[in-house]
Amino acid sequence: MSHGAEGSTKAIFYALGANFGIAVAKFAAAFWTGSGSMLAEAIHSTADCANQLLLLLGLRQARRPESPDFPLGHHRVTYFWAMIVALLLFFMGGAFSVYEGVERLRHPQPLENALLAMAVLGIAVVLEGFSLWGALREIAKESGGKPFLQWFRETRQSELMVVAGEDIAALAGLAIAFLAVAAAMASGNPLWDALGSVAVGLVLMTIAVAVMSEVKKLIVGESVAPEMRAEIEAFVAAQPEVEQVLNVITLAWGEKTVIAVKARMTDMDRISGGEMVDAINRVEARMQARFPAARWVFFEPDSR
């Protein structure tokens, strides 16, 4: 397993353990207090647990070997499951929370045992913070010091992106739910609790849309990160067998990379076909040694 996949797996297990404990506590508190915000948060945490299991399924399926039907393997299946998880976050977490909040606005219910709800939310913040810490630690290993938003836009690790997005959405939702329950308790008006549920849903839907937008690029066929693409081009241009790089195409392929190069070879007008093949093979071997994720390298000589 590559470092990227190993880091994503660790982050997923951090999130799964935290969200399972949080979901149990939230459902108990929602049942005891009758809080709409708490119920919305409990459903969100349950959806998160299911989401993390789907991400683990995707990582497992991505390790299937190549075959005649799938000559480049199944590595991109992680993008499919990341999109499914983002959709579940949008509908099971966000849209349902908004629906629950609207129902509470139409049919207000008194809030009971608000202190218990706030205590559970406080515990959930600690557990969710632990999950986010695990995700950010793995992100720091991969990002090379990039700011988080830049990493989010440029990363090709869809599963780590989803986990980070979920954790951020969860912490924001917990903060909103805590404030909503506190306002409802202080004022005696359950309207605040209903509004909190709506606000939690809108936050989840917003982050889900952001994740879906990034995963869509990967499904369509996004190149590797810009700095990696530039490094590959510079490496190819520096090879003694290469006179001029004409074009380099890269494609993110799960945790692997596809590279296609078109280049004018050194002395290509004076060497034989066999010597040309040997020169290309040497360059490809060096590329795969320098970039271990480059599972497939396609090299085309050209005289332009």
Query: Which residues 6+ apart lie within 8 Å of 271 measured at CB?
Result: 265, 279
pLDDT at 39 over 80: no
Same domain, 242 and 147: no
Quote the pLDDT of residue 273: 83
Question: Domain containing 139: what range?
Answer: 3-220
- CATH number, domain at 234? 3.30.70.1350
16 or 216, higher pLDDT:
216
The rounded distance, in Å, linking the Cα atoms of 47 and 44 is 5
Domain boundary among 204, 220, 236: 220
For range 102-107, the mean pLDDT: 85
Q: Each residue of 160-184: pLDDT tens digit?
A: 899 898 889 888 888 888 888 888 8
Same domain, 200 and 297: no
For range 21-35, the mean pLDDT: 78
| Weakest mean pLDDT among 19-23, 62-66, 82-86, 215-219 | 19-23
For residues 185 and 106, the answer to whether their CB atoms sit within 8 Å is: no
- CATH number, domain at 26? 1.20.1510.10
Same domain, 88 and 233: no
Same domain, 188 and 270: no
Same domain, 277 and 192: no
Q: Each residue of 262-285: pLDDT tens digit?
A: 999 888 778 888 888 999 999 999
Tell me, yes or no, if the pTM score tops 0.75: yes
pLDDT at 236 over 90: yes
Closest CA to 124 of 176, 85, 75: 176
Quote the pLDDT of residue 40: 67
pLDDT at 2 over 60: no
Domain boundary among 220, 253, 279: 220
Same domain, 135 and 268: no
For residues 131 and 19, the answer to whether their CB atoms sit within 8 Å is: yes
Same domain, 44 and 20: yes
pLDDT at 36 over 70: no
Confidence band (pLDDT; 50, 70, 90) for 5?
Answer: low
Same domain, 241 and 214: no
Q: Number of folded domains in the chain?
A: 2
Q: Residue 11 is inside which H or E element, if any?
A: helix 3-33
The rounded distance, in Å, linking the Cα atoms of 81 and 57 is 8
Q: Each residue of 127-166: pLDDT tens digit?
A: 888 888 888 888 888 887 888 889 898 888 888 899 898 8
Quote the pLDDT of residue 216: 94
Same domain, 240 and 187: no
For residues 192 and 108, the answer to whether their CB atoms sit within 8 Å is: no
Quote the pLDDT of residue 112: 67
